[in-house]
């Protein structure tokens, strides 16, 4: 096989992995979950989940990727020595590919909303109209499809340029851009009258709101937000240099991810309070992002004003960048798999993946319009992709990864890798293994069972 590329620098590796982690989840799920689940109390629980669950699994994915220098399916195949564990890698590749199909639809929406914001299309729109604007856009058979194709086209271009001149270079430009925009938006938002209420809503610890389902939610969010369980980090780590410190890189990625998520809250809630809106009614996910927020930004910064245009455009552009770098990482999982396992040229492999995700992505997109009546388990095609991956595939693969890393992977190999053959100290080694063996599988198992209930298979 031709020699594999590596990331050219440690910072490039961190930014690429952070690009995967920082995505839509940071902006449209984390802030709402925090607000509704006891503010700082939720943030503390979330960080604990990252510490006990997220970091050990992230480090293991890094380790498996870097040790084998192979795509995710290849990595587990090599380590499983012909055994059944090789299926974990394939499951990861499938999960990533599957997620990408619907993730791209939302990526396309963020582009359309950047465009609408920049052209001042939200000026003087009555508050109740924003729902219709979104629904008629998402339900239109053409526009979302066009944006989806552009979004996947952009992803495709970065991927075909390769690891160093594509993914790494792009992350080195886009991640600092994302960070700067986040800071600017946060500062603007915090200067609004009413900002203190927003800060309080996010940060006041209210332990009375914490229930067992809060903890499950925090675990699920930590997992999704860190891009665990779908081969992204394993694939990226296969491009790490031998000298890249695994634990330190994982800590950096988690910190960046958490910081951006918290800042997203500071962007959203001050303006929500500023216009006297009830934060519990802004919704979450798509309805928050594409229905509540365009209105909130217009009202907060002056309807149709230049400030509203700038703020809103930067916000949707931020979402677009976050979604794009995550989509790139998902695409790379599948591209690395298909090119390496089937000995295919990278350009050809990437094209096959792009064509497949675009086809399925269009089906997901059309499920808001012409295909709305096609339902599986009570869900349209888009929700089916979203829920099946989030509730079933991700926890399943996370649980299997932790069991594999804790019970199957050779302990000596683990120690060698984590210490970079004795170069770095790893006093946390025993704790890490303990979490992988017991804490993580049990915790993720609980999330899994909980979500299976929500999935209503036996309806």
- Contact stretch for ligand PHE (CB under 6 A) within 73-81, 277-285, 324-332, 426-434: 324-332
For ligand PHE, which is the closer residue by CB, 96 or 406? 96
x/- track of binding to ligand PHE for residues 13-42 (CB under 6 A): -------xx-xxxx----------------
By CB under 6 A, is residue 326 in contact with ligand PHE?
A: yes
Q: Are 382 and 144 in contact (CB under 8 A)?
A: no
Q: 9-14: which pairs have CB atoms within 8 A and are 24 or more residues apart?
A: 9/168, 10/241, 10/243, 10/244, 10/245, 10/249, 11/172, 12/164, 12/168, 12/171, 12/172, 13/168, 13/236, 13/239, 13/240, 13/241, 13/244, 13/249, 14/249, 14/252, 14/253, 14/256
By CB under 6 A, is residue 217 in contact with ligand PHE?
A: no
For ligand PHE, which is the closer residue by CB, 188 or 364? 364
Q: Are 355 and 258 in contact (CB under 8 A)?
A: no
For ligand PHE, which is the closer residue by CB, 202 or 226? 226
By CB under 6 A, is residue 58 in contact with ligand PHE?
A: no
Q: Could you count the other beta carbons within 10 Å of the beta carbon of residue 325?
A: 26
Nearest distance from residue 197's CB to ligand PHE, in Å? 27
Nearest distance from residue 384's CB to ligand PHE, in Å? 17
Q: Which of residues 220-239 bind ligand PHE (CB under 6 A)?
A: 224-225, 227, 230, 232
- Contact stretch for ligand PHE (CB under 6 A) within 107-115, 274-282, 291-299, 326-334: 326-334
- Greatest CA span in the chain, whole angstroms? 65
Rg, C-alpha atoms of the chain: 21
Nearest distance from residue 410's CB to ligand PHE, in Å? 28
Closest C-alpha to 247, from 427, 48, 12, 49 = 427
Nearest distance from residue 279's CB to ligand PHE, in Å? 21
Which one among 185, 308, 330, 396 touches ligand PHE, defined by CB under 6 A? 330
Cα-Cα-Cα-Cα torsion 363, 366, 372, 377, nearest 10 degrees, comes to 30
Classify 38 in phi/psi space as left (phi over 0), alpha (psi -120 to 50) or beta: left
Nearest distance from residue 106's CB to ligand PHE, in Å? 9
For ligand PHE, which is the closer residue by CB, 88 or 418? 88
Which one among 99, 158, 247, 381 touches ligand PHE, defined by CB under 6 A? 99
How far is the C-alpha of 153 from the C-alpha of 376, rounded, in Å?
Answer: 29
Q: Indicate the burial class of 184 (C-beta count within 10 angstroms; 0-12, 13-18, 19 or more).
A: middle
For ligand PHE, which is the closer residue by CB, 324 or 418? 324
How far is the C-alpha of 458 from the C-alpha of 408, rounded, in Å?
Answer: 33
Q: Are 24 and 106 in contact (CB under 8 A)?
A: yes
Nearest distance from residue 28's CB to ligand PHE, in Å? 8
Nearest distance from residue 217's CB to ligand PHE, in Å? 14
Nearest distance from residue 85's CB to ligand PHE, in Å? 22
Three-class DSSP category at 158: helix
Task: Count the site residues for ligand PHE by CB under 6 A.
Answer: 15
Q: Could you count the other beta carbons within 10 Å of the beta carbon of residue 343?
A: 10
**Residue of this chain nearest to ligand PHE (CB atom):** 23
For ligand PHE, which is the closer residue by CB, 37 or 329? 329
Residue with tokens 């610890």: 205
For ligand PHE, which is the closer residue by CB, 221 or 300? 221
Classify 283 in phi/psi space as left (phi over 0), alpha (psi -120 to 50) or beta: left
Q: What secondary structure letter does DSSP report for 404? A: I
Nearest distance from residue 179's CB to ligand PHE, in Å? 15
For ligand PHE, which is the closer residue by CB, 225 or 274? 225
Nearest distance from residue 99's CB to ligand PHE, in Å? 5
Q: Are 326 and 20 in contact (CB under 8 A)?
A: yes
For ligand PHE, which is the closer residue by CB, 255 or 372? 255
Nearest distance from residue 228's CB to ligand PHE, in Å? 8
Nearest distance from residue 323's CB to ligand PHE, in Å? 7
Q: Distance between the two ends of the chain, CA-based, in angstroms?
A: 49
By CB under 6 A, is residue 329 in contact with ligand PHE?
A: yes
By CB under 6 A, is residue 295 in contact with ligand PHE?
A: no
For ligand PHE, which is the closer residue by CB, 257 or 450? 257
How far is the C-alpha of 137 from the C-alpha of 315, rounded, in Å?
Answer: 19
Residues that bind ligand PHE (CB under 6 A): 20-21, 23-26, 99, 224-225, 227, 230, 232, 326, 329-330
């Amino acid at each position: 096989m031709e020699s594999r590329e590596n990331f050219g620098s440690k910072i490039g590796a961190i930014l690429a992995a952070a690009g995967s982690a920082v995505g839509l989840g940071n902006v449209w799920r984390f802030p709402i979950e925090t607000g509704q689940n006891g503010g700082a109390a939720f943030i503390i629980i979330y960080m604990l989940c990252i510490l006990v669950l997220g970091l050990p699994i992230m480090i293991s994915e890094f380790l498996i990727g870097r040790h084998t220098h192979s795509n995710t399916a290849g990595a587990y195949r090599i380590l499983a020595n012909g055994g059944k564990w090789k299926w974990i890698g394939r499951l990861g590749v499938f999960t990533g590919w599957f997620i990408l199909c619907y993730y791209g639809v939302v990526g396309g929406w963020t582009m359309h909303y950047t465009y609408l914001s920049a052209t001042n299309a939200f000026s003087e729109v009555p508050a109740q109209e924003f729902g219709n604007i979104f629904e008629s856009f998402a339900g239109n058979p053409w526009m979302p499809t066009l944006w989806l194709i552009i979004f996947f086209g952009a992803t495709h271009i970065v991927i075909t340029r390769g690891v160093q001149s594509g993914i790494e270079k792009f992350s080195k430009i886009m991640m600092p851009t994302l960070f700067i925009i986040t800071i600017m938006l946060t500062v603007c938002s915090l200067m609004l009258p009413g900002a203190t209420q927003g800060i309080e809503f996010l940060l006041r610890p209210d332990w009375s709101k914490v229930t067992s389902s809060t903890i499950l939610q925090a675990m699920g969010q930590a997992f999704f937000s860190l891009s665990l369980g779908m081969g992204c980090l394993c694939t990226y780590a296969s491009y790490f240099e031998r000298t890249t410190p695994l634990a330190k890189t994982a800590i950096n990625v988690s910190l960046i991810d958490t910081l951006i998520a918290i800042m997203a809250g500071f962007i959203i809630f001050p303006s929500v309070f500023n216009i006297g809106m009830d934060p519990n009614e802004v919704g979450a996910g798509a309805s928050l992002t594409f229905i509540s927020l365009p209105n909130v930004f217009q009202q907060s910064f002056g309807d149709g004003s230049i400030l509203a245009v700038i703020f809103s455009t930067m916000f949707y552009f931020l979402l677009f960048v976050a979604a794009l770098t995550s989509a790139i990482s998902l695409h790379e999982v599948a591209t690395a798999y298909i090119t390496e396992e089937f000995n295919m040229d990278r350009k050809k492999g990437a094209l096959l993946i792009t064509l497949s995700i675009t086809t399925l992505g269009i089906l997901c997109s059309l499920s808001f319009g012409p295909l709305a009546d096609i339902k599986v388990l009570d869900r349209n095609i888009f929700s089916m992709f979203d829920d099946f991956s989030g509730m079933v595939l991700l926890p399943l693969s996370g649980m299997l990864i932790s069991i594999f890393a804790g019970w199957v992977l050779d302990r000596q190999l683990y120690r060698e890798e984590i210490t970079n053959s004795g170069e770095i100290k790893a006093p946390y080694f025993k704790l890490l293994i303990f979490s992988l063996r017991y804490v993580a599988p049990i915790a993720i198992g609980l999330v899994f069972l909980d979500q299976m209930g929500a999935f209503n298979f036996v309806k």
